[in-house]
Chain A
């Protein structure tokens, strides 16, 4: 269906047209996967939850009513609810290192530099996953999906101003966490240094 618009596909999908649903799937599967990957930190869980999101969407799409909110917002809400349940149910939620098997990497970088950067980024992502759920969701939608505050507001059911304010508070709290963790790291480094003259 090359000439189909999202709105047409949506109308057909709500009437049970599977090909139309396939069109929507092709458009959003990657984005939903991205979102879930950054919320769970695992490829396997991201795949599992992405499947569940689309099966749930397929089951309930006949009840979908257009209230001026984009279809993506509906999908992200399903994803958000499933991830929240996953976090609640999962007992293995302690600081899982992000698997970097499928993350894009800059191939022209020196391996050591790339490794250091990757470690720093992982540490940052661990800090982000300690933030409240809504803040994590906001950061992912902003930095992975590159959405505007207005679009994020539609997904999170808040006003644009509320999103702007939440974003500012999130950055402040993240800055604090980073400075705390870097000072902790610095003190660990000092403790880890061999005493003078020992070498």
Chain B
């Protein structure tokens, strides 16, 4: 730190005053674009706050937990059904197997054309 001698003090104070004047002219207030300010306001206040803490009512909580339980039960049931089907359950008819030739709707066998 530099020593300020008493005989220099006045001059330094004068110089600091002029630095202050320079600063006062350099720091002009700036204005943000009104469109930007309006848009930001809309994002913050106009729409739903994305950071708001959600507090659920008891009914909402019951519905939420109930739906989750139903979902889990359906999933377990589907998986079990599939596994039982794999280990010896009744197999569904395969697609692409030709059906047995049956009678026509009139009840008589089809006649071949000569």
Taken together as a complex, chains A and B put the C-alpha atoms of A8 and B40 apart, in Å, by 23
Please pick, from A16, A47, A140, the residue contacting B33 in the complex, using a CB distance under 8 A: A47
- Bound state CA distance, A43 and B37, in angstroms? 13
Q: Considering only CB atoms and an 8 Å cut-off, how many residues of chain B contact the other chain?
A: 29
User: Which one of B24, B31, B32 lies within 8 Å of A50 (CB-CB)?
Assistant: B32
Instruction: Kindly count the residue-residue contacts between A and B in the assembled complex, taking CB atoms under 8 Å apart.
Output: 94
- Interface digits, B24-52 against A, CB 8 Å rule (1 contact, 0 not)? 11111111110011001101110001011
Please tell me if A93 contacts chain B, counting CB pairs below 8 Å: no
Pick the residue among B12, B28, B45, B53 that contacts A22 (CB under 8 A): B45
> A102 to B28, alpha carbons, bound, how many Å?
10
Q: B13-21, B56-64, B86-94: which lies at the A interface? A: B13-21
Residues of B within 8 A of A172 (CB): 2, 12, 16
Residues of B within 8 A of A125 (CB): 26
A102 and B19 contact, CB distance less than 8 A: no
Please indicate the chain B residues that have their CB under 8 angstroms from the CB of A121 in the complex: 25-26
- Is A104 within 8 A of B49, CB to CB? no
Shortest Cβ distance from A119 into chain B, in angstroms?
A: 11
User: Which chain A residues lie closer than 8 Å to B36 at the CB level?
Assistant: 47
Indicate if B70 sits at the interface (CB-CB under 8 A): no
* Chain A window 106-148, contacts with chain B (Cβ cutoff 8 Å), 1 for yes, 0 for no: 0000000000010001001100100000000001100110000
B45 touches A102 (CB 8 A): no
Report whether A102 and B27 are in contact in the complex, using a CB–CB cutoff of 8 Å: no
Give the Cβ gap from B63 to chain A, nearest Cβ, in Å.
23
CB nearest to A139 among chain B residues = B23
Instruction: List the A side residues contacting B44 at CB < 8 Å.
Output: 18, 21-22, 25, 54-55, 58
Residue among A18, A104, A144 making CB contact with B45, cutoff 8 Å = A18
Which residues of chain A come closer than 8 Å to B30, judged between CB atoms?
Answer: 33-34, 37-38, 102-104
Answer whether A34 and B29 are a contact pair too, CB < 8 Å, given A18-B49, A19-B45, A22-B41.
yes
For B42, the closest partner residue in chain A by CB is A22
By beta carbon, the residue of chain B nearest A20 is B45
Instruction: Tell me whether B97 is interfacial, beta carbon within 8 Å.
Output: no
Task: Give the distance to chain B from A182, nearest Cβ to Cβ, in Å.
Answer: 11
User: Which B-chain residue is minimally distant from A21 (CB atoms)?
Assistant: B45
Closest chain-B Cβ to A172's Cβ sits at a distance in Å of 7
A174 an interface residue at 8 Å Cβ cutoff?
yes
A124 near B45: Cβ-Cβ < 8 Å: no
Chain B neighbourhood of A21, CB < 8 A: 44-45
Assess whether A51 is interfacial by the CB under 8 Å rule: yes
Chain A interface residues toward B at CB < 8 A = 16, 18-19, 21-22, 25-26, 29-30, 33-34, 37-38, 43, 46-47, 50-51, 54-55, 58-59, 62, 102-104, 117, 121, 124-125, 128, 139-140, 143-144, 168, 171-172, 174-175, 178
Of the A-B pairs whose beta carbons lie under 8 Å apart in the complex, a sample of 10, sorted by A's number, is: A19-B45, A22-B41, A29-B32, A38-B30, A62-B53, A102-B30, A139-B23, A144-B29, A171-B20, A172-B16
